[in-house]
Amino acid sequence: MTKPSGTGQPKPPATSSSGASSLVTTFFDRPLPLYLSAAIFRLVFLLYGLWQDANSPVKYTDIDYLVFTDAARFVSQGQSPYKRETYRYTPVLAWLLLPTAHVTGNRTLDVAFFSFGKVLFAISDLVAGWLLEKVLAKSMDAPRARKFATIWLLNPMVATISTRGSSEGLLGVLVMALLWAVLERRVTLAGLLLGFSVHFKIYPFIYAPAIVWWMDNERMSPNKTKPTSLSSKPPSLTAKILNFITPPRLQLALISLTTFSTLNIAMYLIYGTPFLQETYLHHVTRLDHRHNFSPYNTQLYLSTSLPLSSSSSIRIEKLAFLPQLLLSTVFIPLVTAKKSLPTSMLAQTFAFVTFNKVCTSQYFLWYMVLLPLYLPQSSFVKNKRFGLAALVLWVVAQGAWLQQGFELEFLGNSTYLPGLWLASLAFLGVNCWILGVIIGDVR
Amino acid sequence: MRERITFVQKEGDSIEPTALKVDGNGLKGPEVKAVREDRLTFALDELPAELKALLEGVNQLHVRWVSPVAYEAVSPLLARLPPGFHLFYTPGSDALINPCPLLTKAFGLDSCSSPSDSFTTLPTDRFTHSTTHQFYQPLPSLKAFAHFARSLLCPPGSPSSCSSRVGSLTAASQLDLSYDTISHTLRLTSLWPYSPQSLSASLLSPTIRTEIGILSQTSPKTLEPHEIGISGLLTVLGQSTTPSPTLFSFPSRHRDSSSSFQAHFLPPTGLHPTLQLSISSPSPPAKSPTEETCRLHGYFTLPKTLFPDRHQLNDPLFLSSKNLTAVRYITPGIDLEAPVYVTSTWGSTLLLELAPPHSSSSGKEWTAEIPLHLRYLPPSLTGYQKAEVPYPALFWACTAEEGTKFPGNPFEKDRVGYDGLFGERTVFWHLNPSPADGKLVNTVKVPVLNLEKADWVGTVTGAVVVAGFAWVVIKLLGVVVMGGKKVGEDKKKKQ
């Protein structure tokens, strides 16, 4: 690992002059205080959730967690997890949560077993945070790396989502592990992780082009002299293509594709068509676009509910995948991956979520895990006011949407037009602007 | 073909035989307050070819229609269902037979396309007396059926009384159409609410055997606790001119609990409306001989515009906070996400056991709440649509004593949906629905997309997405250009 010069030297006296900041410094000096507090933080959330579930008709536990655990129960009885309606995940998730289906007869033990999944998701958070620190430490000293990892580790939103039993935390650790493996040049591990993550939640496929593009000869085998640099002639197109196909790239492609297909074939052999339908095809054929942050939402409601002939409006939603996939799998990786792989992955995820046909706040976690890797060199941190303004805009646009959503959902006011629609367009605008800033920060 | 016409007065009311005039064409009498039930029984051969062909292909077909206008029922004609058109159906050996086209024509339905698309399946492993399929749709009136029945019952040349009698179907509060392969007969039963009416009945056609009864409930001392007694006058038109008195008793499946209830949605309804039931008393029917086995149930027939979430109704804490005990039956496989316009099945059935407060303060009104969820409805020009939700049937289900079955009840009404979810020895003590506005239907105002404002949605959405996309692409180009410059600068420095 190469650290920038100047790290490890004693801090200038200014930072240790005040008691508060010396306390902060001590907190980040060693890993234990941070990880211990992150763990306790989640434990408190978890225990509070158990209390609320046991004492209030309003549940802390996410409805999805009941879906996972019901599916795990079916699996434990030797049945298909897809017997549980709205289970739209890989069977691996239900297998992972098998302990939640374990019943001992002792009430306290049963609650503990049932909470296994939440513990697993919370531990995934911590591991993702630890990997974050490792990746950050490649370009800064450990205490500073931990300081940025805190954005994830002590983030109440992250802790809430995983202790309520949402599986997005698992994705966080998979994606961080993937990035770490790539940066460590562990191609086999990276291929396995990539194949598995795409099997798990599809969207990580967007990282494949960025990683492949990043894995050029200079990076993967810096000691070898490049054949092209010897000749003065510019390389021909064929040579370029041949040059592009390097052993590590082939290895990554082969291993990730093998992992992905093996898992899918295995699941298909075990669970048949419901696996394909629920895990993958559902996302293509679904017509249940209840209101969400996506800019396409209103248009989708309009076009799916009206007979084909009567709607004269343009069917833009049919082309919705174009801006989304062009940005997240072609343009952003091509331009930014070689300059900064973590920032490229952040921008790709941000673009993917922003331009998706369905967008809920759980998806924000997908890019939040990558955020601490970008922030250290971002204009948002360099200019704190600018950063704060961006955060406020992001929150306000969401708040406006949520307010309109509340009026619709709970008061029964027809706010689809123009309220919800305009709020979702404004949110798109804010997100595009932030995305532009992130991309502009790539040097 | 034969006919039975029954007037049922309340307990204690009766009429002197001398007040009635009977001849071969009909019966005439004074005006009384009574319920009227007409029952026509057809042999298969007496039916038109189309109907006969359909019935020959089915195993069981039971239509139960109930008026949305609140009505008073009188013992023993107490069975209640949610208002609307119900179909309980078991196909015959040829499962491809489709009863929908004929039923659509007869009743003016609009959502019955075929059993596989529109019907739900019922649990037949639970009790054998259940049919295999169910269908429902809200249907406020029998106008279409009266028209259909006129062509069926009053061929050209029939007396004008035939047409007017069929026409009076539009005032009925209940209509049953029952067929099964065992009896090989089709029974058409219509019921008019308790109201002042003249005791008059006329022949539909001279060839029909017509029996007329004027009855009321009675409680002789010899009556067993599980039985009800009936007394009154009976006559068969054309056979005698003086009605003969009668007295008989039988166990009845449907009884009156002497409590009442109202149902309404708690405002604001939003997209997750809560139906509140206000029930006049928490106590089981005192008259039931097996009072301690009684459990209060609500049977809900919910059109596809809204649905119950069985996962939400699974948590004991949540249920008890709503004064509910447990879900006893819910249509399996209800889609929890799909909008109405992609849902083809009619909707769902929910049987809930309610949890009355244990307090000794019997006779005190209490409430229970049923959380429901609306589907997306098609856009409209106002931004709102209406979803109509029928009243549930509320009853205390009590297990009758060993050996009690319900043979010999001439007014037996079965295949009412919930009876297939209980054992055969269950007695249903009904609560009387008493809506403030006289309508057994609640309406929810559903927010939908406002088409008036939707003209620019596609264009503007497209434009904003393209603009956002373009902005990001420009920023990317900026990075490319800057990167190029940087490389150039580096080269210059090296030189």
pLDDT in tens, B312-330: 898 888 899 999 999 999 9
A384 and A406 belong to one structural domain: yes
Conformation bin of residue B279: beta by default, left when phi > 0, alpha when psi is -120 to 50: beta
* Partners of residue B272 in chain A, C-beta under 8 Å: 409-410
Structurally, chain B folds into a number of domains equal to 3
The residue among A114, A298, A343 with the most chain B CBs within 10 A of its CB, best to mutate, is A298
Contact criterion met (CB below 8 Å) for B298 and B323 = no
Q: For A333-358, what is the mean pLDDT? A: 94
Whether A416 sits inside 8 A of B376 (CB atoms) is no
Q: For B107-125, what is the mean pLDDT? A: 90
Note whether residue A416 is domain-resident.
Answer: yes
A367 and A408 belong to one structural domain: yes
Which of residues A164, A184, A211 is at a domain's end? A164
- Per-residue burial over B364-396, b if 16 or more Cβ lie within 10 Å, else e, is eebebebbbbbbbbbbbeebbbebbbbbbbbbb
Q: For B360-377, what is the mean pLDDT? A: 86
Instruction: Supply the DSSP symbol for B238.
Output: T
What's the rounded Cα separation, in Å, for the pair B348 and B298? 14
Q: What is the mean pLDDT of chain A?
A: 87
Contact criterion met (CB below 8 Å) for B71 and B380 = no
A48 and A113 belong to one structural domain: yes
Note whether residue A2 is domain-resident.
Answer: no
What's the rounded Cα separation, in Å, for the pair B269 and B248? 50
A186 and A132 belong to one structural domain: no
Note whether residue A133 is domain-resident.
Answer: yes
Query: Could you tell me the pLDDT band of residue A1, with boundaries at 50, 70 and 90?
Result: very low
Per-residue HEC secondary structure of chain A comes to CCCCCCCCCCCCHHHHCCHHHHHHHHHHHCHHHHHHHHHHHHHHHHHHHHHHHHHCCCCCCCHHHHHHHHHHHHHHCCCCHHHCCCCCCCHHHHHHCHHHHCCCCCHHHHHHHHCHHHHHHHHHHHHHHHHHHHHHCCCCCHHHHHHHHHHHHCCHHHHHHHHCCCCHHHHHHHHHHHHHHHHCCCHHHHHHHHHHHHHHHCHHHHHHHHHHHHCCHHHHCCCCCCHHHHCCCCCCHHHHHHHHCCHHHHHHHHHHHHHHHHHHHHHHHHHCHHHHHHHHHHHHHCCCCCCCCCCCHHHHHHHHHCCHHHCCCCCHHHHCHHHHHHHHHHHHHHHHCCCCHHHHHHHHHHHHHHCCCCCCHHHHHHHHCCHHHHHHHCHHHHCHHHHHHHHHHHHHHHHHHHHHHHHHHHHCCCCHHHHHHHHHHHHHHHHHHHHHHHHHCCC
B363 and B424 belong to one structural domain: yes
B475 and B363 belong to one structural domain: no
Task: Report the percent of chain B where pLDDT is more than 70.
Answer: 95
Q: What is the DSSP string of B88-107?
A: EEEE-S-TT---HHHHHHHH
B118 and B193 belong to one structural domain: yes
A278 and A180 belong to one structural domain: yes
A136 and A248 belong to one structural domain: no
Q: What are phi and psi of B489, to 5 degrees?
A: -60, -45
| Position A7 pLDDT exceeds 60 | no
Query: Could you tell me the pLDDT band of residue A335, with boundaries at 50, 70 and 90?
Result: very high
Would you call B227 helix, strand, or coil by DSSP? Answer: strand
A·B CB contacts under 8 A: 173
Number of C-beta neighbours around residue A138 at 10 A: 16
Whether A431 sits inside 8 A of B269 (CB atoms) is no
Note whether residue A12 is domain-resident.
Answer: no
A295 and A427 belong to one structural domain: yes
B214 and B314 belong to one structural domain: no
Q: Domain containing A195: what range?
A: 165-219+242-284
E strands of B226-294, at which residues?
227-236, 244-251, 254-265, 274-279
State residue B404's pLDDT score: 60
ipTM over the 0.95 cut-off: no
B9 inside 8 A of chain A by CB: no
A197 and A112 belong to one structural domain: no
| Position A11 pLDDT exceeds 60 | no
Note whether residue A7 is domain-resident.
Answer: no
A393-403 tens-digit pLDDT: 999 999 999 99
A160 inside 8 A of chain B by CB: no
Structure tokens at A43: 């434990």
B200-252 tens-digit pLDDT: 888 777 788 889 999 998 888 888 877 889 999 999 988 888 888 999 888 88
Contact criterion met (CB below 8 Å) for A60 and A44 = no
Give yes or no for a cis peptide into B435 (omega within 30° of 0).
Answer: no
CA angle A343/A344/A346 to nearest 5° reads 60
Residues 6+ apart with CB under 8 A from A15: A21, A22, A25
Task: Report the percent of chain A where pLDDT is more than 70.
Answer: 89
CA distance B391 to chain A (A): 22
Q: For A22-37, what is the mean pLDDT? A: 84
Q: What is the mean pLDDT of chain B?
A: 88
A140 and A174 belong to one structural domain: no
B139 and B164 belong to one structural domain: yes
Higher-pLDDT residue of B409, A315? B409
Of B458, B468, B479, the CB nearest to A314: B458
B27 and B162 belong to one structural domain: yes
Structure tokens at B495: 């030189």
Note whether residue B495 is domain-resident.
Answer: no
B184-199 tens-digit pLDDT: 899 999 999 999 988 8
Q: Torsion angle of alpha carbons B122, B123, B127, B132, nearest 10°? A: 40
Structurally, chain A folds into a number of domains equal to 3
Q: For B166-192, what is the mean pLDDT? A: 93
Q: For A355-366, what is the mean pLDDT? A: 90
* Partners of residue B453 in chain A, C-beta under 8 Å: 417-418
A375 and A402 belong to one structural domain: yes
What's the rounded Cα separation, in Å, for the pair B338 and B335? 6
Q: What is the CATH number of the domain that holds B336?
A: 2.60.40
Conformation bin of residue A78: beta by default, left when phi > 0, alpha when psi is -120 to 50: left
B11-23 tens-digit pLDDT: 888 888 888 888 8
What's the rounded Cα separation, in Å, for the pair B369 and B130? 28
B238 and B294 belong to one structural domain: no
CA distance A323 to chain B (A): 6
State residue A9's pLDDT score: 44
Structure tokens at B179: 């067929």
Q: Domain containing B95: what range?
A: 2-251
Whether A425 sits inside 8 A of B464 (CB atoms) is yes
Query: In chain A, which residue's Cα lies nearest the Cα of B447?
Result: A414
Q: For B446-458, what is the mean pLDDT? A: 90
Contact criterion met (CB below 8 Å) for B77 and B193 = no
Query: Could you tell me the pLDDT band of residue A417, with boundaries at 50, 70 and 90?
Result: confident
State residue A17's pLDDT score: 45
Residue A156: HSE in the Cβ half-sphere, 13 Å Cα cutoff: 1
B170 and B302 belong to one structural domain: no
What's the rounded Cα separation, in Å, for the pair B81 and B88? 13
**Residue B380 pairs with which residues in a beta bridge?**
B450
B244 and B268 belong to one structural domain: no
Note whether residue B361 is domain-resident.
Answer: yes
Note whether residue A67 is domain-resident.
Answer: no
B43 and B133 belong to one structural domain: yes
A79-137 tens-digit pLDDT: 999 988 889 899 999 999 999 998 888 888 888 999 999 999 999 999 999 999 999 99
Note whether residue B61 is domain-resident.
Answer: yes
Higher-pLDDT residue of B207, B356? B356
B457 inside 8 A of chain A by CB: yes
| Position A226 pLDDT exceeds 60 | no
* Partners of residue B376 in chain A, C-beta under 8 Å: 288, 290, 301, 305
A46 and A151 belong to one structural domain: yes
State residue B485's pLDDT score: 60
Of A313, A323, A416, the CB nearest to B449: A416
Q: For B390-398, what is the mean pLDDT? A: 95
Strand-strand pairing, B21-23 and B26-43: antiparallel
Note whether residue A77 is domain-resident.
Answer: no
State residue B350's pLDDT score: 96
CA angle A259/A373/A354 to nearest 5° reads 75
Higher-pLDDT residue of A18, B439? B439
Which of residues B251, B284, B299 is at a domain's end? B251
B151 and B295 belong to one structural domain: no
Q: Torsion angle of alpha carbons B189, B192, B194, B197, nearest 10°? A: -120
CA distance A73 to chain B (A): 14
State residue A309's pLDDT score: 45
A330 inside 8 A of chain B by CB: no
A367 and A420 belong to one structural domain: yes
Number of C-beta neighbours around residue B462 at 10 A: 20
Whether A412 sits inside 8 A of B269 (CB atoms) is yes
Distance of CA A260 to the CA centre of its chain: 19
State residue B359's pLDDT score: 63
B266-278 tens-digit pLDDT: 989 999 999 999 9
Residue B75: HSE in the Cβ half-sphere, 13 Å Cα cutoff: 27
Contact criterion met (CB below 8 Å) for B350 and B394 = no
What's the rounded Cα separation, in Å, for the pair A56 and B317? 7
Pick from B435, B430, B356, B427: nearest CA to B390: B435
Note whether residue B443 is domain-resident.
Answer: yes
Tell me the one-letter amino acid at B408. G
- Per-residue burial over A271-284, b if 16 or more Cβ lie within 10 Å, else e, is beeebeebbeeeee
Whether A313 sits inside 8 A of B458 (CB atoms) is yes
| Position B405 pLDDT exceeds 70 | no
The residue among A432, A434, A438 with the most chain B CBs within 10 A of its CB, best to mutate, is A432
Note whether residue A6 is domain-resident.
Answer: no
State residue A13's pLDDT score: 43
A275-326 tens-digit pLDDT: 888 888 888 777 667 889 999 999 889 888 876 544 444 566 678 889 999 9
Higher-pLDDT residue of A309, B157? B157
Residue B422: HSE in the Cβ half-sphere, 13 Å Cα cutoff: 27
Note whether residue B493 is domain-resident.
Answer: no
Structure tokens at A359: 């967008």
The residue among A313, A433, A437 with the most chain B CBs within 10 A of its CB, best to mutate, is A313
B236 and B264 belong to one structural domain: no
E strands of B266-346, at which residues?
274-279, 295-303, 306-307, 324-330
Least trusted range by pLDDT, from A172-176, A231-235, B245-249, B377-381: A231-235
What's the burial of B170, exposed, middle or buried (CB within 10 Å: 0-12/13-18/19+)?
middle
State residue A279's pLDDT score: 83
Query: Could you tell me the pLDDT band of residue A158, with boundaries at 50, 70 and 90?
Result: very high
